[in-house]
Structures are given as structure tokens and as C-alpha cells.
Structure 1
Amino acid sequence: MKKRSGIGEWIKQWVDKAERLLAPTWNTCSACGVSYSTEHALPVCKRCSEVIPWILNVRCDQCGRSEVCLDCTRRKQRFFVRNRSVVRYSPDMKEWLGLYKYRGNENMQRLMGTMLLHAYNLHNESAATSGDFSRCVELITYVPLSDTRLAERGFNQAQQLAQELGRHTGIPVISMLERVRHTDKQSFKTRAGRLQDMQGVFAVLPSAKVKYNDLFSHGSVKLYIVDDVYTTGSTLNECSKAIKKELPADVFGISWAR
């Protein structure tokens, strides 16, 4: 009788374990907050996953846009190699970014930062297409906020996204740039206004130049600058200009939306 009881207990434990393995794991969607049981590569439900307008076919090699880009044809001088973005800036993606930047939904950091892997992979695809297989040091930095904007928002979304990308890729994330003057929000300005307003806004941090000068001087460096949205490319171009003036590096842009 004792032996049968032992076998029965073992069977019960095995059945309980099997039920736990077969039972769906419920997660909370980072974007809409609903519970879902289906596993995705991203922490979102099926409905939110289906509205993501991934940029899959790059038409403009400079900015990574999925259509012909007039901004790039009009740019007089470009200081970055190329930019790649994750998604088109659709109304749904605008809502997602608003949840993160203005409503403090911290779950969006993990979601959007993970999505940046797509832009990073697009860079690798472009490098492979062009036959660029050279070995180099890879580093990640980000577009800095002014002290005024940082105090207003409480965090730098570009910095957080860069750190998330660094966590996934293993690439070091460094603080490289500072804003030397505050600018108003770019979303309310014309293209000409953006270009004019962004001139001379960024500079390499003196401490960064001292700290990383030796690293940059001993070989090829590929530096990725992370930002949330690429609109005209004026921000990325001015950041790249400031870096190229001080340090020898090939600068690339990684933005969440285009």
C-alpha cells in the first residue's frame, strides 16, 4: 500500500507539472495594457503587433525612408553615413511615443528599445550590400536634451532607448554630446526653421573627448547616434557635425520612427 501511495503521489506531481507547462502564460501589453497569452518577440498583444508599420524596404539609402526622400536631395552637406529607422511615424506610433514621452509609461522603454534592433539590423544589411565587411569598434551614443527639457520631462528618452539597444547588442553606450543652448520643440517648425534653429546646438563633451580620444585614435570607430524620431535629419546632421569636428568616427543614425 505504501508503494502504491508513493507512485500515486509521483503521478500527481507529474500531472501538476504538465498542466503548468501547458497552461498559457499571461502577459500585459506594453502599449495598450490588455492581458494576452500568445507569445511574441515583442511585449505586445496581437492587435498592437499588427498595427506596427515596420520599415522593411528602404528606398532612400541616406535616411532609411521607405519612399523617395526630398529632404536628402536638398541637403547641402551630410556629416553622417546613413540613418535607419524602425517604423513609419503613423498615428498609432505617434500615440505610442506620446505614452512614453509625455505620460510616463515606462513599459514603452523596453518595447521601443527592443524594436531598435530592427534599425541596427538594417544597418548591417546595408553594409553587407555595399561590401563593407571591415572590422571596427562599435559604440552607441544618443541625442542629448537641454537642461530645461530634461528638468521638464525628468528623463531623456533617447538615452533610455540607447541603453536598451546596448543591452540587447552588447555594444557600449557612452555619453558623447551636450546641448550648448536650448531650442523650442521642433515639431512646430518648418523644414527651413528646423535647419536654422539646429545650427551649432551640439558640442562634444570635454570630458568625453579626453576619455575616448585614445579609443577613437586607434582604429576605425562606428558610432551610432540614437534618437526617437527622424524628421528632416537636421538633428542627426548637427550631432554628427559636432562629433566629426573633434573625433575621427563614422557616424550612423538609429531612430525609432521616420
Structure 2
Amino acid sequence: MLDLLLPPRCPGCGDFLPDAGKLCAGCWFSLSFLSGPSCNCCGYPFPHDRGGEVYCGVCHAHERHFDRVRSALTYDGGSRPLLLGFKHGDRTELAPFLSDLLMQAGREFFTETDLILPVPLHPRRLIRRRYNQAALLAGCLSSRTGLPWEGLVLRRHKATIPQEGNYTLRQKNVRAAFSIQKGCQELIEGRRILLVDDVYTTGATLQSCARELKRQGAEKVFGLTIARVVRPGML
């Protein structure tokens, strides 16, 4: 009855679909999947295989507190409508579909992970948005992998402003923005943590979260996002 009243539409282009939470063929083929050679640390894609464990220029130049990050898609004209609809457009029904993409991108992590944590929103932003998109993804991944997840371990106590692109500015923006909730250290100490978020821009957010988790005794911190920004200048 609900589908008759409100027929499912493609979140990318708006065309009618037989099933909710899916993409039409055209939007599916517009996605740029990240499955080739990449930086061993942050997952930045390389145009060709350089052999062995190779790192991008940013990971060479800056200390990374996370151990490895992987992303499913390039953040571009194909993935942007999908991500914006999920993040800001109340398209929460996309969470299972997007978590399928994360399952493929992060398959190397699941045997090494003890606990899944979503990157948290500041309370004021959570009230405005009404849901944390990263927490929806973490819950779906937990159901698929059997790994536990916790939504209240990491706390975002600094209301950071949106900051595009520049690595140094984004690092400054999220510095000391995250902390561990009181009484949760025992969940972190000696554990291998998988952080889940929607988009990797410069890695500043994951970096800040990982720094705090390592400071509280985490053994390893991995990152997994639906999409990542890819710019030639980032190498």
C-alpha cells in the first residue's frame, strides 16, 4: 500500500523503481568504484600498480594515527546525489544498500576487527538531522558481520564548521573535537577498532578520532567510508 501511495524512486535521479533503497541502472553505472591499487595507509587510488606497500605523498608527509582506511567509491557526480540524499535528505532506507558497498570495500578489515564505532555527530547537529548516518551504517555492518558496535563510545564535543579540502585547515578544525565517554575506556583498551563514516575528504576527522582512540589504548584503528574525495593535488 505504501509503495502504491509513495512509489520508490532512485535516490540518484528520481526515476521510479520496483524496490526502495536501490539505484537505477544508469545511476549504478555512473558510480566510480575504488578497487584498484592504492595507498597502503589511506587508500588513495593510484593509476597503476607500483608494487609492494606504497604510500601516497600525504601519508609520507604526515603522521597517521589510523592504520588503514578504505573507501567504496570516488566522491564525484555519480556518488554525490546518493550521499547527500542519505546524509541530509532523510533517505535512511539507503543504509542497507550502502552497507553492502562497505562490505566489499572493507572485507580485509572484518577478520581483524573487535569493535565497530561510528564517527559521532555533535549533539546540536544530531538534533537538527535527527539521525547519525554513520551509526546507521555501523548497525548494518554489525548485523552482516556479527561484530559488535557501540554508538556512544566516541563523543563529539566540539561543534566544528564544514571545511572543504585543505588538509591543514581541516586538521585544525577537528583538533580535540572528540573524546571517549566516561567509563568506556575498557571497551577500547587493547581492541582493534573499525571507524565508519560517510565521506573521506582529507582524513582529518578519522585522524582525530583515531588519535583519541590510540591515546585511550586501542591497539589498531581502521577506517571505512562509502566515498572519498580524489584530487590529483592530494598526492
User: Do they fold alike, i.e. is TM over 0.5?
Assistant: yes
Interval of TM-score (by shorter of Structure 1 and Structure 2):
0.7 to 0.9
- In the alignment, which residue of structure 2 is the partner of 1:23? none
Whether 2:221 is the aligned partner of 1:255: answer no
SS at match of 2:89: coil
Cα 1:198–1:137 change in 2 (3 A) is closer
State the alpha-carbon separation in 2 of the partners of residues 98 and 27 from structure 1: 17
- In the alignment, which residue of structure 2 is the partner of 1:121? 107
Q: Contact (CA 8 Å) 1:84, 1:123: kept in 2 or not?
A: no
1:234, distance to aligned residue in structure 2 (A): 1.1
1:54 to 1, 26, 33: 33
SS at match of 2:148: coil
Q: Aligned ranges for residues 72-221 of structure 1 at < 5 Å?
A: 72-75=59-62, 77-123=63-109, 138-175=114-151, 176-187=153-164, 190-210=166-186, 212=187, 216-217=189-190, 221=191
2:202 to 232, 245, 258: 232
Give the residue type in structure 1 aligned to 2:226.
Answer: W
State the alpha-carbon separation in 1 of the partners of residues 143 and 12 from structure 2: 21
Using structure 1 for the length normalisation, give the TM-score: 0.74
Bigger radius of gyration among the two: 1
1:248, distance to aligned residue in structure 2 (A): 3.1
Gaps of 5+ in 1: 1-25, 125-134
State the alpha-carbon separation in 2 of the partners of residues 137 and 121 from structure 1: 11
Cα 1:78–1:165 change in 2 (3 A) is same
1:186, distance to aligned residue in structure 2 (A): 2.3
Cα 1:47–1:88 change in 2 (3 A) is same
Provide, for residues 230-249 of structure 1, a one-character-per-residue CA deviation record: whole Å limited to 9, x for no partner. Answer: 11111111101101111232
1:33, distance to aligned residue in structure 2 (A): 4.9
Where has structure 1 moved over 3 Å in runs of 4 or more? Answer: 26-37
Cα 1:27–1:95 change in 2 (3 A) is closer
1:44 to 23, 29, 35: 23
State the alpha-carbon separation in 1 of the partners of residues 8 and 158 from structure 2: 43
Provide, for residues 128-178 of structure 1, a one-character-per-residue CA deviation record: whole Å limited to 9, x for no partner. Answer: xxxxxxx76521001111112112211111111111111111111113210
State the alpha-carbon separation in 1 of the partners of residues 112 and 97 from structure 2: 28
How many correspondences in the alignment? 212
The percentage of counterpart residues that share the same residue type is 28
- In the alignment, which residue of structure 2 is the partner of 1:65? 44
Gaps of 5+ in 2: 1-6, 47-54, 229-235
- In the alignment, which residue of structure 2 is the partner of 1:242? 212
Provide, for residues 176-235 of structure 1, a one-character-per-residue CA deviation record: whole Å limited to 9, x for no partner. Answer: 210121111123x6322111111111111113225x26xx45xxx321000111111111
State the alpha-carbon separation in 1 of the partners of residues 221 and 120 from structure 2: 16
State the alpha-carbon separation in 1 of the partners of residues 42 and 92 from structure 2: 28
- In the alignment, which residue of structure 1 is the partner of 2:52? none
Give the residue type in structure 2 aligned to 1:78.
Answer: R
Q: Contact (CA 8 Å) 1:84, 1:122: kept in 2 or not?
A: no
